[in-house]
Chain A
Amino acid sequence: MINLVHNELIKLVRKKRLYIILAIVAVLVALFTYAQMKEVKSLQERLGTTDWRSQLQQDIVNTQNRLNSSTIPDDLRKYFLIRISEQEYYLEHDVDPSAPGAPTFMRMFVENSIDLLMPLMVVVVVGDLVSSELSGGTIKMLLTRPVKRWRILMSKFLTMILSVSFIVLSLALLSYLISGAVFGYSGWTMPILTGFSTNGNVLVTTNVHLIYQWQYLLMELGLAWFVGIIVGSITLMLSVLIRSTAAVTGVMLATLISGPILANMVSSWESAKYLFMVNLRITDYISGGAPPIQGMTLGFSMIILTIWGIAALLVAFITFTRRDVY
């Protein structure tokens, strides 16, 4: 099995897809760093202060002003109310949720890339693991060896896990290294509040506790990795089912993009919460964002994602071991 995975990794590296991913992430991180820097500057100019408390209070006030507009949709109102109570909680406890520094940037980057950017990277790498062998005809070379078919797919699955780990690692490292050049590299031991939960539109703070930013980051990256594995499993299934790598990527792309759109509309369609793409933003649960649908929790999302992942793998393995190869 180690040999098989070794084979897969050689192919993966030599196809240079990983390097493309690295380049894309580097460019995006640089862009976001620049944007963030600009935003901080313009905020300072506008408010005439560098004090995060004033900035946060201003943010609260701005939100409250928006809340007073009668045209604001119900679910958005709910979201704002929860956000305000959270921000007030931060102010009351004198904890800056966005103290500048590379670790903070990294945290925000992970939170914002978990439902689209990171899964996309996974799709790009995993999408052709099987389909390229099908379309290139090399599958015939693989399957006419004295190795059982499930072992071949298992090696692809393990390779998928390794590449997801690698992608998450490069997201983390690149965002830390590049943004650190602007924001500084410190901030690992900054305290972060976690454990917020919501009950209706009331913020429940009984479970809130402080942890260090590095712990928090480790948690978020672990969750991002988990999401990556699930998206990877589903992509692997499609890669088994569909010959064309472009089609696999296309289908996954469309599905992933539909996630945030659906999440916006699901207040009126509750069963959408059983779709995997609505459940990808699991880092929001630990940072305290409002769930897209009431009643969704970290546990719920993780169970839904796990079910999707296992189902996808079952389909992939059954199809792969039984299918006639032409």
Chain B
Amino acid sequence: MNNLESTLVVKDLQKKIRNKEIIKKISFELKQGEVFGFLGPNGAGKTTTIRMLVGLIKPTSGEISICGFNLADDFSNAIKQIGCIVENPELYPYLSGWENLQQFARMVPEINENRINEVVTQVGLQNRIHDLVKTYSLGMRQRLGIAQALLGKPKVLILDEPTNGLDPVGIREMREFIRTLAEQDQISILISSHLLSEIQLMCDRVAIISKGEIIKVDSVALLLAEQERVSWKLQPLAEGRRILSEETTIIFEKDGIIITHYDEGKLSLINERLVREGVKVSGIQTKLPTLEDLFIELTGGETID
């Protein structure tokens, strides 16, 4: 993946509001054709970062460049490469879907009716496109939102919580749609979400963001495969905890289950010692971590809703 071109480069991006640092010098890159996840709890700074990426908020310092164009210096050229939905797709309810798209088409020089038809077909809204937007369901609005984002043939697509409010079928469709865009059209897609499952299923790489900082950026596969864990079910718990902490590293503990690193050579030795010292081992399980585990581990117990 490293030989691919970077479409979006963010360097030392910082935002201060009244001397309070909201975004703390974050940096990351998007490669061509990849789906990049932006994971964090509400209020972590996802939306603020995204708004800076699309020029709605001016960064206090730092640089954003899109396909080589600096957003601050060459706004028009930079923003041309981006299609986005920030939070909900807010459209003019008193206009039809078609008229909404026309509105945005008129703001970019080289978009004609054919292109509008193309995106409408792409998101599958052909049947309802001439109805007023106020009669649309949330899912249809979401699709119309994506249609307007795709209108200018962007190299980078930024979607803020794209599955928000969709039903399970809709979520699956959206997921497939996003994968198709990335794989077939080689668009880089940035997806923010507070839902781990969603990111896990859709994204190639993920940045975990908490309190305005990126804690970790890695490919989802690597992140998850990095370390297998062992979960212990022990009794008495306190004694077990003591022994485990002497023998290996406890990652975290949840609902009476202690999670430790996996160490193949040592596993049986630890088990032996536990049994010898009278701790009842009712379960040992090796398992792959979920993003949720990772998140809890990385943020030190901050929960995601």
Contact = CB atoms under 8 A, between A and B. Distances in A.
Interface of A: 3-4, 6-7, 10-11, 14-16, 136-138, 140-148, 322, 324-326
A148 B86 contact: no
Interface of B: 51, 54-58, 75-77, 79-80, 82, 84, 86-88, 90-92, 94-95, 99, 103-104, 106-108, 148, 152
Contact of A145 (B57, B88, B107): B107
A10 B107 CA distance: 14
Contact of A146 (B77, B84, B92, B99): B77
Contacts of B107: 3-4, 7, 142, 145-147
A6 B55 CA distance: 24
Contact of A147 (B57, B76, B99): B76
A148 B95 contact: no
A146 B103 contact: no
Contacts of A322: 58
B245 to A, nearest CB: 46
Given A4-B107, A7-B106, A144 B95 contact: no
B79 A144 contact: yes
A16 B77 CA distance: 35
Contacts of B84: 144
A20 B58 CA distance: 39
Contacts of B91: 138, 141
A147 B87 CA distance: 21
Nearest to B93: A136
A136 B90 contact: yes
A11 B107 CA distance: 14
A326 B87 CA distance: 10
Given A7-B107, A137-B90, A141-B104, 12 more contacts: A14-B92, A14-B99, A138-B91, A138-B92, A140-B87, A140-B90, A143-B55, A144-B55, A144-B84, A145-B107, A148-B75, A324-B56
Contacts of B87: 137, 140
A145 B94 contact: no
24 contacts: A4-B107, A6-B106, A7-B103, A7-B106, A10-B103, A11-B103, A14-B99, A136-B92, A137-B88, A137-B90, A138-B92, A140-B90, A141-B104, A142-B107, A144-B56, A144-B86, A145-B108, A146-B76, A146-B108, A147-B76, A324-B51, A324-B56, A324-B58, A325-B51
A325 B53 CA distance: 12
B90 A146 contact: no
B57 A324 contact: yes
Contacts, number: 75
B94 A14 contact: yes
Interface-central residue, B57, B80, B90, B104, by most chain A CB under 10 Å: B90
B116 to A, nearest CB: 14
A256 to B, nearest CB: 27
Enumerate the 4 nearest inter-chain pairs by beta-carbon distance, A residue then B residue, closest first: A137-B90, A146-B76, A3-B106, A324-B57
Nearest to B54: A144
Interface-central residue, B75, B107, B148, by most chain A CB under 10 Å: B107
A71 to B, nearest CB: 56
A145 B77 CA distance: 10
A7 B79 CA distance: 20
B21 to A, nearest CB: 15
Nearest to A15: B94
Contacts of B152: 146
A325 B79 contact: no
Contacts of A136: 90, 92
Contacts of A7: 103, 106-107
Given A3-B107, A325-B51, A144 B82 contact: yes
Nearest to B84: A144
A141 B87 CA distance: 11
A142 B86 CA distance: 12
A11 B54 contact: no
Contact of B86 (A6, A10, A15, A140): A140
Contacts of B99: 10, 14
Contacts of A140: 54, 56, 86-87, 90
Contacts of B86: 140, 144
A326 B51 contact: yes
Contacts of B103: 7, 10-11
Given A14-B94, A141-B90, A4 B106 contact: yes
